[in-house]
């Protein structure tokens, strides 16, 4: 009998009424013949409340006790869903991360999964029991301390459980009905994708799309876990909800997509991120080792650098521009100033009113001129490009934030994603 992992986010389990709706989704899959494991998040807003309590208790709280507090939200949800499933006549029980166990490292607040012992869990679902698992949490076995995986960690929990159980699929239920070509709030003509490759989804998630946590997509790609994004807010008993092809977006291997269509679309989607800041270092000596002098201290400060542009040398000097997350902007400038004796720069400038807009698609590997089309289209709208980065399946542009929506709409239409 095939195994299925179902994950429900905070909006999906926001109250008892919605938990009952979730239980109906679970019952539908059980009646369809699946052995089911369910991974749940805390109720919407509950994790923020618990984090707030920790901060109120102490500004310098113990991260181990922080994990003990914030993991309780998922414990409540898992127990409530198990109770509702039992009331509906299904055999069900709740499982906490430490009971399986889900083994992690000891990076409290952002732990990474090392292993999942699926023996007890597999035996439970083989026996016809629905396993309701508290997401977002695990255990550091050497210390016996509870750990949490960071925001969005329930997605990662679900994909990891699916990989451990060798499940046919991991269904991620959210408040949207799939992955779209771009944000429908910006482009009303945005379309829901039937399928998207792991690599494309990884790029979209890391470049601004909020549907899935980046780590969960990485895990799905590494273990080839077919992941299906769908809405939990639809009628669980409606005929279309049982049709995987029509109810959401399947994230799968590129070969599966190619096998299902004659030729891949050149561009799959447009993503954008407003969480960007630009730092420019002016009049830096153009000599070996200067890049290491700039980016070494930033790495030591755990500041993630994305786009990097270095101007052509003039009179032995050059300018270096790069982007960092907005939250790290002031810290990045301070790190550069602290290294002034080594870098010997003239001035540090910066801007936070910038946006990164990205064009993504596996079809770009075999099609020339994709970037040239974008340059021409953006120029035609009077949009200046501050920086550019590329990969085999992505082109990212840094532009002024005021032009974000215009750029996204322009590129979405340019590559035929409106229809």
Instruction: Tell me: is residue 74 an annotated ligand-binding position.
Output: yes
Q: Which fold has domain 269-414?
A: VC0802-like (3.30.2130)
Report in angstroms the alpha-carbon separations of 143 from 11, 42, 103, 108, 147.
33, 25, 11, 12, 11
Question: Model confidence over 191-237: pLDDT tens digits?
Answer: 999 999 999 999 998 887 778 888 999 999 999 999 999 998 888 88
Residue-averaged pLDDT of the chain: 91
Residues 6+ apart with CB under 8 A from 231: 173, 174, 175, 176, 177, 178, 247, 248
pLDDT one-digit tens code per residue, 274-297: 989 999 989 888 888 888 888 999
Closest to 193 measured CA to CA, from 272, 255, 264, 274: 264
What are the boundaries of each domain within the chain?
Answer: 3-258, 269-414
Beta bridge partners of 314: 317
C-beta of residue 21 within 8 angstroms of C-beta of residue 185: no
Residue 285, pLDDT score: 82
Is 46 annotated as ligand-binding?
no
Note the CATH number of domain 3-258: 3.40.1160.10
pLDDT tens by residue, 240-268: 776 666 789 999 998 887 656 545 578 99
Number of Cα atoms under 13 Å in the Cβ half of residue 365: 9
pLDDT in tens, 25-64: 999 999 999 999 999 999 999 999 999 999 999 988 999 9
Q: Rounded to whole angstroms, how far apart are CA atoms 133 and 99?
A: 10
Is 325 exposed, middle or buried, given 0-12, 13-18 or 19+ CB atoms closer than 10 A? middle
> How many whole angstroms separate alpha carbon 294 and alpha carbon 129?
56
CB 276 within 8 A of CB 325: yes
What confidence tens digit (pLDDT) does each residue in 338-381 have? 888 888 777 888 899 999 999 999 888 878 889 999 999 999 99
Residue 145, annotated as binding a ligand: no
Burial 201-220 (b: 16+ CB within 10 A, else e): bbbbbbbbbebbbbbbbbbb
Shared fold status for 3-258 and 269-414:
no
Q: Is 185 annotated as a binding residue?
A: yes
User: Is 9 labelled a binding residue?
Assistant: yes
Q: Three-state SS for 339?
A: coil
Which residues, in sequence order, are bridge partners of residue 169? 4
Percent with pLDDT over 70 in the chain = 97
- Rounded Cα–Cα distance for residues 340 and 294 (Å): 9
Angle between helices 153-165 and 214-223 (to 10 degrees): 10
Q: Check residue 262 and give its pLDDT.
A: 47
Say whether 246 counts as a known binding-site residue: no
Give the pLDDT confidence score for residue 245 in this predicted structure: 67
Q: Is 135 annotated as a binding residue?
A: no
Interval 54-106: pLDDT, tens: 999 998 899 999 999 999 999 999 999 999 999 999 999 999 999 999 999 99
Residue 180 known to bind ligand: yes
């Amino acid at each position: 009998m095939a195994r299925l992992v179902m994950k429900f986010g905070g909006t999906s389990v926001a109250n008892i009424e919605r938990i009952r709706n979730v239980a109906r989704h679970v019952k539908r899959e059980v009646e369809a013949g699946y052995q089911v494991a369910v991974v749940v998040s805390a109720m919407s807003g509950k994790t923020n409340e618990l984090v707030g309590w920790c901060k109120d208790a102490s500004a310098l709280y113990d991260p181990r006790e922080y994990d003990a507090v914030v993991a309780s939200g998922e414990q409540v949800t898992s127990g409530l869903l198990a109770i509702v499933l039992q009331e509906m006549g299904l055999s069900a029980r709740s499982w906490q991360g430490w009971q399986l166990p889900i083994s992690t490292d000891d990076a409290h607040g952002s732990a990474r999964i090392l292993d999942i012992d699926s023996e007890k869990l597999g035996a439970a679902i083989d026996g016809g029991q629905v396993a309701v698992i508290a997401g977002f949490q695990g255990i550091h076995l050497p210390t016996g301390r509870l750990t949490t995986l960071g925001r969005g960690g329930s997605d990662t929990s679900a994909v990891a459980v699916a990989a451990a159980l060798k499940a046919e699929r991991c269904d991620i239920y959210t408040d949207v009905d799939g992955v779209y070509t771009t944000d429908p709030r910006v482009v009303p003509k945005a379309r829901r994708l039937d399928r998207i490759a792991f690599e494309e989804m990884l790029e979209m998630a890391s470049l601004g799309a909020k549907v899935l946590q980046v780590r969960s997509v990485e895990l799905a790609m590494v273990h080839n876990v077919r992941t299906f994004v769908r809405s939990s807010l639809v009628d669980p008993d409606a005929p279309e909800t049982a049709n995987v092809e029509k109810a959401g977006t399947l994230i799968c291997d590129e070969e599966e997509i190619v096998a299902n269509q004659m030729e891949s679309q050149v561009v799959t989607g447009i993503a954008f991120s407003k969480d960007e800041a630009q730092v420019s270092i002016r009049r830096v000596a153009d000599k070996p080792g200067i890049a290491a002098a700039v980016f070494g201290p930033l790495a030591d400060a755990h500041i993630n650098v994305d786009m990097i542009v270095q101007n052509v040398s003039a009179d032995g000097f050059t300018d270096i521009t790069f982007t960092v997350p907005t939250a790290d902007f002031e810290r990045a400038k301070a790190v550069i100033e602290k290294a002034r004796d080594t870098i010997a720069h003239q001035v540090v400038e910066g801007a936070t009113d910038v946006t990164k807009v990205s064009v993504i698609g596996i079809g770009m590997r075999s099609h020339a001129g994709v970037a040239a089309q974008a340059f021409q289209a953006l120029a035609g709208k009077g949009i200046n490009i501050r920086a550019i980065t590329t990969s085999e399946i992505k082109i990212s542009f840094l532009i002024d934030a005021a032009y974000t929506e215009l750029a996204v709409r322009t590129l979405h239409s340019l590559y035929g994603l409106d229809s």
